[in-house]
Structure 1
Amino acid sequence: MGKNIVLVVDDVPESIGALCTELESEGYTVLVAPDGETALQRLDMVSPDAILMDAVMPGMSGFETCRRIKAQPVWAHVPVIFMTGLTDTGHIVEGFAAGGVDYVVKPVRTAEVLARLATHVRNARAVRLAREAVDVGGLGVLVVDAHGRPAWRSPLAQAWLTEFLGECADDTDWLQSEADEAERTAPDGRALVAHRMGEVGLGETMWLLRLRPAGEAPASRIAMAALTPRETEVLSWIAKGKTNRDVAEILGISPRTVSKHLEHVFEKLGVETRAAAAALASRELG
């Protein structure tokens, strides 16, 4: 495995000389940019494992630079850690709103920066590998932030969103509903199907995308949940109005075991109540 690459963006190079030296001694390859525009140019040539970003710089601020980085799917996964003397809550909130993952106050304490950097680089790599593995499996991943904006898209998800939505690839209105599934259909009959996977961060929601060929019937939610045979049996009896004790007697198991099966069923179906699970089963199991 090659060295981790860190892009350090600061308009006062002498203020970060010691930090860069320490980063290199810890095995990082360090790239330096004196302003936001230069940082974006560096990103056109290499994809770093993390970015240490000064918040206040002449011209484009670090916050605006971060927003531009996060707007590009190919760079969006790179963690940005702000380094700044701004300590009031408003600036800290702005940093996170721009897409930063962390905030250290100048003058920076090198040991603290190294510890935070190592954690974010490790987490970002794990998430990236997991999402790339999803793409390999024929599924795409879309993460939407609390404001309904795309926060991250795997390569396959980006390709599908561009194909199905064109210039509106960043539009997530089609996902904004109470349902856990949504879809967009192409003129040739194929459909881009999105399944809500739940929250993965502060206000962020993950959607799993798949391509349904033309002519293929929509998969039932229960089928996609991959219930075990016993879980399916329990659910079918619940849909018929049976109590846990009734189901236990019918299947020859304890009521406690029935309850455990139902817990798994609720989790797999993404529902929270017995009534919701029963209603879903009535529609799909008959």
Structure 2
Amino acid sequence: MISTTILCIEDNPEISELIVEVLEDEGFAVSVVANGADALAALQPPPDLVLCDLDLPGLSGFEILERARGEGILPLTVPFIFITAYAQRSNQLQARGLGCDDFVSKPIDFEMLVPIIRHRLALARVRAPVKPAFALTERESETLTWVARGKSSPAIATILGVTERTVQFHVNNVIQKTGAATRAQAAAQCAILGIIKP
């Protein structure tokens, strides 16, 4: 059985040791990093869940989360939970705006933390992306990426160095494969599935 992996980003060794001890007793595999630069590196390959302090050397927890989500290092399906002594409302609002899934204040109530982790992991499994039942050719993917970026068929034809008729041919193929009603719906569906990256 493969263990659920949790990355703990915490610079206080006493707290990180306690987190590791409690979570390993619960059957999780826990790794610890103590600063922002190491945290970004440790996110690849992505763990199943991230616990992160706010106040860290190098990058703050906010900066780690912003870069991890914004640069596509950490998929949206991986829960990110802040654990911090700085639990004021303004920090919670900022954290949620950056894509944080939960916010736990210190001192840590482990009787509360463990159920929160289990709940977030259960939700993540439900939301895990479904493997698409279709595939796009390289040219279809390229064309649809420009559709997702709001380009018209004539503009896409110019960008790709093909005729407008060829662009329309690829767009129609994608619409048929996805079962979408419009090119915009097809582009949105493929972006959600991770087939294209607008």
- TM-score range, shorter-chain basis? 0.7 to 0.9
Letter in 1 for 2:56: M
Residues 114-153 of structure 1 aligned to structure 2 (within 5 Å) = 114-128=114-128, 131-133=129-131, 135=132, 137-138=133-134
Q: Which runs of 5+ in 2 are unaligned?
A: 158-165, 175-182, 192-198
Partner of 2:85 in structure 1? 85
Task: Please give the alpha-carbon distance, in whole angstroms, between the structure 2 residues aligned to 1:26 and 1:160.
Answer: 43
Report the structure number with the largest CA radius of gyration: 1
Instruction: Report if the CA contact (8 A) 1:9-1:53 is conserved.
Output: yes
Letter in 2 for 1:71: G
Partner of 1:208 in structure 2? 189
Question: Structure 1 stretches (4+) deviating beyond 6 angstroms?
Answer: none
Letter in 2 for 1:132: V
Residues 184-223 of structure 1 aligned to structure 2 (within 5 Å) = 185=153, 186-187=156-157, 188-189=166-167, 190-191=170-171, 193-195=183-185, 207-209=188-190
Sort the Cα spacing of 1:88 and 1:139 in 2 relative to 1 into closer, same or farther, 3 A: farther
Partner of 2:72 in structure 1? 73
Letter in 2 for 1:138: F
Instruction: Report if the CA contact (8 A) 2:10-2:35 is conserved.
Output: yes
Question: Partner of 1:83: helix, strand, or coil?
Answer: strand
Aligned residues: 165
Task: Please give the alpha-carbon distance, in whole angstroms, between the structure 1 residues aligned to 2:74 and 2:152.
Answer: 26
Partner of 1:25 in structure 2? 25
Partner of 1:268 in structure 2? none
Q: Deviations over 1:5-31 (max 9, x none)?
A: 000001112122222111001111001
Q: Which runs of 5+ in 1 are unaligned?
A: 141-155, 175-182, 197-206, 211-286
Question: Partner of 2:190: helix, strand, or coil?
Answer: strand
Question: TM-score normalised to the size of structure 1?
Answer: 0.52
Question: Partner of 1:47: helix, strand, or coil?
Answer: coil
RMSD: 2.9
Q: Deviations over 1:138-185 (max 9, x none)?
A: 289xxxxxxxxxxxxxxx9xx94797249xx8x5xx3xxxxxxxx864
Letter in 2 for 1:86: Y
Residues 36-185 of structure 1 aligned to structure 2 (within 5 Å) = 36-44=36-44, 46-73=45-72, 75-76=74-75, 77-128=77-128, 131-133=129-131, 135=132, 137-138=133-134, 160=141, 164-165=145-146, 174=150, 185=153
Instruction: Report if the CA contact (8 A) 1:6-1:49 is conserved.
Output: yes
Residues 237-256 of structure 1 aligned to structure 2 (within 5 Å) = none
Identity %: 25
Between structures 1 and 2, the one with greater strand share:
1
Sort the Cα spacing of 1:96 and 1:21 in 2 relative to 1 into closer, same or farther, 3 A: same
